[in-house]
Amino acid sequence: MKVTVRIWRSSGDSKVGRWSEYEVETDPMERVLDLLHKIRDEQDGSLAFRRSCGHGICGSDGMVINGKNRLACKTLVKDLKSPIVIQPLKGFPVVKDLVVNMEGFFQQYRRVMPYLVNDEPPPPKERPQSPQERHLFDDTTKCILCACCTTACPVFWANSQFLGPAALVAAHRFIFDSRDRAGRERLSLIAQYGGIFTCRTTFNCTDGCPRGIQVTKAILELRQAILTGNLPQKPS
């Protein structure tokens, strides 16, 4: 089958550019990432996009496909209407074509201390954790930092100080980990201006997550933890 692919082409400013249109021979079970490779390899070698693992693990090929944030490596041609319209993620400076500068995104991510903090002497084998304790943050461990949730958020578009959904998901992952000892410090951090209470609960983040993470639910659990001061108990 043959499909029409329209790609927004720009360099340095996503508002200034042009649409390029390509006719691509494809199979319905091929992915959008396959289409991009065919275009670059066979029709236009100047096309720029990011990809790494190609299997929905690295999160590097997030882009807007037919108006929705998706991973190109997970989106099948058969699930899209033609023409297939592809644009860079919104809210980030465009480097070239579908490649965006994500430094601001990772700067906000680093602010929430996205690593386990525990200076207590380690036990002989491992730090114990029950299945029930793990369940509290199991969903938010699935984040691959593709930024699809953050760039779907209208608050992120309007407020450069907002931590964004992905950073809050990272905070949730460690705040609700019973082995971590910096939960209250993180709660204090995300309660500041630009943090958790900046969210307007539009659910765009949950809808935009290609991993199916219940982002809004995690944000509401963080709010509840701030308001009640309740954190997971240390394992006995």
> What's the CATH number where 53 sits?
3.10.20.30
Would you say residue 236 has pLDDT above 70?
Answer: no
Inform me whether the pLDDT recorded for 233 exceeds 80.
no
Of 58, 73, 100, which marks where a domain is finished? 100
Do 156 and 200 share a domain, yes or no?
Answer: yes
Both 143 and 60 in one domain: the answer is no
Whether residues 84 and 195 share a domain: the answer is no
User: What's the whole-number mean pLDDT along residues 170-180?
Assistant: 96
Q: What are 197-214's pLDDT values in tens digits?
A: 999 999 999 999 999 999
143 falls within a domain: yes
Asked whether residue 61 falls in the same domain as residue 115, the answer is no
Please state the domain count of the chain. 2
Q: Are residues 145 and 222 in the same domain?
A: yes
- Note whether 128 and 215 are same-domain residues: yes
Both 81 and 197 in a single domain? no
Among residues 72, 100, 128, which one ends one of the domains? 100
Residue 234 lies in a domain: no
Range of the domain at 37: 2-100
CB 202 within 8 Å of CB 154:
yes
Rg of the chain over all Cα atoms, to the nearest angstrom: 20
Based on the domain organization, do 110 and 94 belong to the same domain? Answer: no
Q: Which residues pair with 22 in a beta bridge?
A: 5
CATH number for 223: 1.10.1060.10
Q: What is the pLDDT of residues 99-143, one digit of tens each?
A: 999 999 999 999 999 999 999 998 898 898 999 999 999 999 999
List beta partners, residue 94: 100
Between strands 2-10 and 84-87, the pairing is parallel
Q: 158 is written with which tokens?
A: 């309007």
Q: How confident is the model at residue 234 (pLDDT cuts 50, 70, 90)?
A: low
